[in-house]
Amino acid sequence: MLKHLLSGADLDAATATLILDTAAEMATVAGREVKKLPALRGRTVVNLFYEDSTRTRISFEAAAKRLSADVINFSAKGSSVSKGESLKDTALTLQAMGADAVVIRHPASGAPHRLANWVEGSVLNAGDGTHEHPTQALLDAYTMRARLGRIAGLSVAVVGDVLHSRVARSNVLLLATLGAKVTLVGPPTLIPVDIGAALAPGTEVSYDLDAVLPTSDVVMMLRVQRERMADSYFPSAREYARRYGLDGPRMARLPDHAIVMHPGPMNRGMEIAPEVADSPRSTIVEQVANGVSVRMAVLYLLLGGMH
């Protein structure tokens, strides 16, 4: 049924729930002495990374290895890729190597879609430009469900640089599919035009973080690059932190049960204060662990389990 995972929009509620349920089973493997399943023995998974993202690559690598797949790391740095080989030529090379799945991280939006035209195996989008990062949305959903027991009906505030965030787009799509209510919060310069119509009707937008916090079950803080201020998205890092950063006093406005998420890597002191990142509400460390389980589930289901 599902051949590739390119976008949060590829997942209907049943498929997304199946992935989350499978991930929960996979999580039990992590607690075992031998953290390995034979499910993908003899299958080849290629990690094709055109951006430095050690944390995501390691997460996918661990997931594939725990399923006994052969893993090839194909990094753009120091390979033929950096010498100007085209994505299509690289795709044909991977095809010749017999890749059953290609996990691709790429700075250009849509690169995984292009790749899917040129390889026979499954393509997993591990983050493309300012477009999407669907496994991040799945691991975020998994984390919400693990902490709060459900996803449907939750109020989720996604805060920060939505415009440039692939995490935000995938989350808006997946959370809408799973019945959560999403409010995007940030300065108007960083909220893309027509986002509700573009992704999920019912998505709300607010420029006032303090007003949103008291009714939020989940606050997801997005990474905000300081360089954005050079392009006049906001006047200064300090003003950004003051208006949209999550610090201790702001966190106190949340309901008691609410959780704080961050996809990492964090800019401590910018979008999130250290006391928040390290508080019991924070799920940041769990998100990393859950990432491996969710990616195991996705690889397992894409490469044969989903029949």
Partner 1 sequence: MTEYTAGGDPGAAKPAYLIRGVRVVGAAPTDLLLAGGVVAEVGRDLAARGARVVDGDGLVALPGLVDLHTHLREPGREDAETVESGSRAAALGGYTAVCAMANTSPVADTAGVVEQVWRLGREAGLVDVQPIGAVTVGLAGERLAELGAMADSAARVRIFSDDGHCVADPKLMRRALEYVKAFDGVIAQHAEEPRLTEGAQMHEGEVSTRLGLTGWPAVAEEAIIARDVLLAEHVGSRLHVCHLSTAGSVEVLRHAKKRGVRVTAEVTPHHLLLTDERAASYDPVFKVNPPLRTSADVSALREALVEGIIDIVATDHAPHALEDKECEWAYARPGMLGLETALSVLLDVLGERWDLIAERMSRTPARIAGLVEHGRNPAPGVPANLTLVDPAARRTVDPSEQASRSRNTPYAGLTLPGRIVATFLRGEPTVLDGKAVK
Interaction of residue 129 with partner 1, rule CB under 8 A: yes
Q: Which of 128, 140, 217, 271 binds partner 1 (CB under 8 A)?
A: 128
Interaction of residue 131 with partner 1, rule CB under 8 A: yes
Q: Which of 211, 159, 165 is nearest to 186 (CA)?
A: 159
Interaction of residue 110 with partner 1, rule CB under 8 A: yes
Phi/psi region, residue 124 (left: phi>0; alpha: psi -120 to 50; beta: rest), is beta
193: helix, strand or coil: coil
Residue 83 marked in a binding site:
yes
To the nearest whole angstrom, how small is the minimum distance from the Cβ of residue 231 to partner 1?
A: 8
Residue 150 marked in a binding site:
no
111 or 301: CB nearest partner 1: 111
Number of Cβ within a 10 Å radius of residue 170? 27
144 or 200: CB nearest partner 1: 200
Interaction of residue 281 with partner 1, rule CB under 8 A: no
Interaction of residue 230 with partner 1, rule CB under 8 A: no
Q: Which of 85, 117, 87, 123 is nearest to 103 (CA)?
A: 123
Estimate to the nearest angstrom the gap between the alpha carbon of 199 and the chain centroid: 16
Q: Which of 10, 68, 114, 286 binds partner 1 (CB under 8 A)?
A: 114
Residue 238 marked in a binding site:
no
Q: Which of 92, 198, 211, 285 binds partner 1 (CB under 8 A)?
A: 198
The token pair at 73 is 């790391």
C-alpha span between 261 and 192 (Å, rounded):
21
Q: Residues 46, 62, 107, 164: is their CA dihedral positive or negative? A: positive
Q: Which of 108, 146, 205, 289 binds partner 1 (CB under 8 A)?
A: 108
> Going along the chain, which residue ranges are E strands?
44-49, 70-75, 101-106, 122-128, 155-159, 181-185, 204-206, 218-221, 259-261
Site for partner 1 in 132-171 (CB under 8 A): 132, 166, 169
Interaction of residue 109 with partner 1, rule CB under 8 A: yes
186 or 245: CB nearest partner 1: 186
Q: Which of 75, 192, 253, 286 binds partner 1 (CB under 8 A)?
A: 192
What residues contact residue 295 under an 8 Å CB cut-off, 6+ apart? 59, 60, 63, 64, 135, 139
Residue 223 marked in a binding site:
yes
The token pair at 260 is 């704080």
To the nearest whole angstrom, how small is the minimum distance from the Cβ of residue 86 to partner 1?
A: 6
Residue 264 marked in a binding site:
yes
Candidate segments 32-40, 105-113, 246-254, 296-304, binder of partner 1 by CB under 8 A: 105-113
Residue 22 marked in a binding site:
no
Task: Kindly state the DSSP code that residue 191 receives in the 8-state scheme.
Answer: S
Interaction of residue 130 with partner 1, rule CB under 8 A: yes
Asked if 109 and 164 count as a contact pair (C-beta separation under 8 A), the reply is no
69 or 104: CB nearest partner 1: 104
Classify residue 174 as exposed, middle or buried by CB count within 10 Å of its CB (0-12, 13-18, 19+): buried
Interaction of residue 88 with partner 1, rule CB under 8 A: yes
List the end-to-end C-alpha distance of the chain, in Å, as a whole number. 7
To the nearest whole angstrom, how small is the minimum distance from the Cβ of residue 135 to partner 1?
A: 16
Q: Which residues bind partner 1 (CB under 8 A)?
A: 86-88, 106-111, 113-114, 128-132, 166, 169, 192-195, 197-199
Annotated binding site for carbamoyl phosphate: 55-56, 105, 133, 136, 264-265
